[in-house]
Amino acid sequence: MKSFDITRILVPIDFSNNSMNALQTAVAIAKRHKADLKLLHVFDLDNTLYPEDNMGSNSDPDIAIVSLGRLAASVKNGDGVSCGIVYKSGFIPNTILQTAKEKNSDLIVMGKNGNAGYREHYAGTNTYNVIKKSHCPVLSVVAGKMYENFTDVLFPARPVVSVFEKYELIRPIILKNKATLHFLGLRNPDYIEELHIISKLTEIFKKQASADEFNTTMNYYFKDDKFAAHLLDTIKKGEYPYDLLVISAELDNNIKDYYLGDYAQQLIHQAQIPVLILRATETISSKAEVLRIIENSFQETELSSTH
């Protein structure tokens, strides 16, 4: 499996406590990966339509730019991390996505709830809309606790091919944090093919985790297809001190463009630990095809281990 490099991190800043908390997480990641940070503040064009929703003094461009510059200087001087700023006007989610593309960002780190997020257990509108359309991974950081290290990573493995992309994404984070990878195999008992898929995935990841010298735990959930509910319950029970959940989000284009499936929606909104989301580049509905791809991957893993 190839490795995913984190060299450029984009951090949207709206000067809320949540975005400041996310910035601390981004700074810690940047230190470990020797990555560059870009702080982005977007003057929301909605402010001109709905001035009652503006952000006080930071809605003034001159004040916002000065505040952003001071923040970047503090990161550079205090934490020794390369940090630049970007100030733009536009609609917030679209501008964040456009900037991530322009800057070739490897990762976007956002507060789960910014100034526009009011419901405790739901991601803010801007964060959720960025997650839906981002072509690079997004780390959504919950408020109320500072996350500078990730030591116990919960890695749910559904019977989908995007699980390999997800492993590539999380691999350098686990290595840099010397974290434990908690593998959780999920399958719907109504489909026998899913048992074969999870079995092969388990074999592959045992071999890969051993080669990477990861600390791992292996667990399974085969009771029903209420995967998101089980994951949320697993986090809440806290058998391990989980501090990062990594998921892949498949788009359901049969319903609506950029509509995320219920599994991803529930976890993005309700997980009370940071969630790292990778939008799957390939979605395959046929379980037989998924099994074929995974079996081929298993054979390639076997061959590489013998050379």
pLDDT tens, position by position, for the chain (307 residues)?
456 899 999 999 999 999 999 999 999 999 999 999 999 999 887 655 444 344 444 567 888 899 999 999 999 999 999 999 999 999 999 999 999 999 999 999 999 975 444 455 577 889 999 998 998 999 999 988 999 999 999 999 988 777 888 899 999 999 999 999 999 999 889 888 888 888 888 888 888 899 999 999 999 999 999 999 999 999 999 999 999 999 988 655 444 455 578 889 999 999 999 999 998 666 555 666 666 666 666 555 444 444 4
**239, two tokens:** 């058998």
Amino acid at the residue 21? N
| Phi/psi at 82 (5° precision) | -60, 125
Count of all residues that appear for the chain in the document: 307
User: Which tokens sit at 231?
Assistant: 């994951």
Q: In what order do the strands lie in the sheet with 83-90?
A: 83-90, 36-44, 8-12, 107-111, 138-141, 275-279, 244-249, 152-157, 180-186, 215-221
* Per-residue confidence (pLDDT) for residue 192, from 0 to 100: 83
pTM of the model: 0.88
User: How high is the pLDDT of residue 266?
Assistant: 93
How far, CA to CA in Å, does 194 sit from each of 76, 159, 190, 197, 202?
Answer: 49, 6, 9, 5, 12
Cβ–Cβ < 8 Å for 11, 26: yes
CB 162 within 8 A of CB 197: no
Residue 183 bridge partners (DSSP): 155, 218
- Residue 78's pLDDT is 95
Query: Could you give the domains of the chain?
Result: 8-141 (3.40.50.620), 152-305 (3.40.50.620)
Number of Cβ within a 10 Å radius of residue 236: 11
What residues pair up with 107 in beta bridges, in sequence order?
A: 9
Angle of the 17-33 helix axis to the 61-79 helix axis, nearest 10: 40
pLDDT value at residue 185? 93
Amino acid 303: pLDDT: 40
pLDDT at position 254, please?
A: 47
